[in-house]
Amino acid sequence: MPSRARLQMSLAIEPLPLKAPFAIAGHRFEAMPALVATLSDDDGHRGRGEACGVYYLDDHPASMHAALEARREAIEAGIDRAALQTLLPPGGARNALDCALWELQAQRERRPVWALAGLAPPRPLPTAFTLGADAPAQVAAGARALAQARLLKLKLDGDAELDIARIAAARAARPDVRLMVDANQAYTLQRIAPLIAALADHRVELLEQPFARGREADLDALDCPVAVAADESVQGLDELDALAGRCDFVNLKLDKCGGLTEALAMAARARALGLRCMVGNMLGTSWAAAPAFALGQLCELVDLDGPSFIQTDRSPAVVYRDGLIHCPDEVWGGAGGVASRSAADAAASTPPPQVPRP
């Protein structure tokens, strides 16, 4: 950011209870607490950033809050995004502050974040809708209930027989949708063969993070008929190169890499390495989804249904309609009242992009 004027930072931890418990491999969530960082200046400009952190790396709102408080003096002296990259490591604390700085700059320069980032006016994006690792009958009911979904993502838990039953139940309930599955590190190379055999049978298009972080070399021996995505295996820019040739997609999340600034650099580097990009977030409200939506304009796959799990979302909020996520500038990252082309405006004049099949 060009200006180094003094800033005021406020921090708040919000509990964000979920509408219903959500199960994945090794975890069951009833809430996804988030840290909200707000930066303001003496001219009345304001920027907001929300981050949930990375639970499997013990990156939680309380520790994120402490990290920002410990650096309050440097932040309020007038930090910019470039300085932030060295002030804090990747993770939720840097994400919250980075996103706040983006929105603050948008208000100061009276241009929306997508324009500051050099992106085209944003379009609504086809998004995955996620079903937890529940009993097959519950998965089938959930698949039917998500009537608008064009793409469903099923959480798996490493019990191959049960996971295959979940996939079969979802496919039987929704023969019309595209399917992908997310193992969240639950499998080993020695135990995954039955699952792999079932993927093509049920027209599953993508397998996300089958093996534990640190076991990326096992992907070299994986004979998989569908595309493979890395999530937990890729946190920031420095981990991308090691995945080239080992997977097809990388799942970019702002909480992991520490904000939109690094995520944009990751998308560019992934392209150079021949990797396709997927964007996701760690649940969270529309304030977390909106910066990821901007990144999603550069991605082939989008998984931004997080706000739909939260009991009470922001207002205004992202909108889900006909399997697409719409994010008007007014949600986050707008130009502070200056007329700018929102996602809704773009939808009226531009057809939504078709997500390439893996």
What residues form DSSP beta bridges with 54? 59
**Which residues, 6+ apart, have CB-to-CB distance to 197 below 8 Å?**
none
Q: Is 256 a catalytic residue?
A: no
Alpha carbons 208 and 122: distance in angstroms, whole number = 26
Q: Is 19 a catalytic residue?
A: no
In this structure, which long-range contacts are made by residues 138-141, counting pairs with CB atoms below 8 Å and at least 24 apart in sequence? 139/166, 139/169, 139/170, 139/173, 140/169, 140/170, 140/172, 140/173, 141/173
Q: Residue 100: name the closest of 17, 37, 186 by CA.
A: 37
Candidates 19, 153, 155, 256; catalytic one: 155
Q: Residue 173: name the closest of 207, 146, 204 by CA.
A: 146
CA 93 centroid distance within chain? 16
Q: Residue 183: name the closest of 166, 168, 170 by CA.
A: 166
Candidates 19, 153, 253, 256; catalytic one: 253
Name the residues annotated as catalytic: 155, 253
